[in-house]
Amino acid sequence: MIRARKRTRTEAKKRYAKLLRRWEAAQYLLEVHGLRFAPATLAKFACLGTGPEICFVNTLPFYRPAGLDFWAKKQIGKPTPRARKDSYDRNRSAPRQLQESA
């Protein structure tokens, strides 16, 4: 398991270039925001249009750190005291069994 030290934005700015390749973007998201995404997942997000802002240089995809920061903050939800309700009821058959036995 890879453990990445959380970096501040200024530390990351010194370490990373202005344009990041996809694998560098994955490392950046892990080190700065603690979000673990594989480069292939970022590629999938780019195809679906749900990922961070992307720019192309001679057909090569690049990410800007500011765009990655904005996207990562959007992905992280607000703190809440309640758990999210699961839409899939794991005991679907339970009410039916209760009705049959009654």
Share of the chain above pLDDT 90, in %: 51
Q: pLDDT per residue over 56-96, tens digit each?
A: 989 999 999 999 999 999 988 877 787 777 666 666 655 55
**Nearest CA to 26 among 45, 10, 11?**
45
Residue-range domain boundaries for the chain: 17-76
The overall average pLDDT reported for the chain is 81
- The helix/strand/coil state of 7 is coil
Residue indicated by tokens 């036995």 = 101
CB 43 within 8 Å of CB 22? yes
pTM of the model: 0.64
